[in-house]
Amino acid sequence: MREFCLVGIALLLTACGGAAVPQEPLTAAKAAVAGAEVGGAASDPKAALHLKLAKEYVAKAESLIADGDNEEAARIIDRAQADADLALALAKETAAEKEAQDTKESLDRLRKQAQ
């Protein structure tokens, strides 16, 4: 019986206290934004758009946390993480395409020289 009371009190306190501050996901989203910046997302138009959105979502999440709306902040942080990840992926794709094109051009030059 005592165990049930303790569990009930713990559930009640959790329900009244709201969601916990999503500090770890926020830190991860900020790191993802920084990684996208370092990965060259700012120099690719598509990636830059998603990088901008990710930064805006991080700022919005911080504002929501300050207002005590941790559940909505957690949802916004997920969006920020997704946009930052997409920005990095797009930047990597652009870099890989450029590298492939450069390699193709080098091979074409070598073939012309070999003839």
Taking residues 64-71, report their average pLDDT: 96
pLDDT (0 to 100) of residue 9: 53
| Cα(17)–Cα(10) distance, integer angstroms | 10
Residue 92 makes CB contacts below 8 A (sequence gap 6+) with 39
Q: How confident is the model at residue 6 (pLDDT cuts 50, 70, 90)?
A: very low
Q: Name the DSSP class of 18.
A: -
Average pLDDT rounded to a whole number, residues 105-112: 93
- Name the token pair of 49: 């758009």
Q: Which helix (H) or strand (E) holds 9?
A: helix 2-17
pLDDT band at 94, cuts 50/70/90?
Answer: very high
| Structural domains of the chain, ranges and CATH numbers in brackets | 21-114 (1.20.1270)
pLDDT at 89 over 70: yes
The pair of structure tokens assigned to 88 is 């990095």
CA–CA separation, 14 and 4 (whole Å): 15
SS3 labels along 24-37:
HHHHHHHHHHHHHH
Residue reference for tokens 């598509």: 46
pLDDT of residue 8: 54
State percent of the chain over pLDDT 90: 82
Q: Which pTM does this prediction carry?
A: 0.77
Question: What is the per-residue pLDDT for 17?
Answer: 53
CA dihedral 10, 15, 21, 25 (to 10 degrees): 90
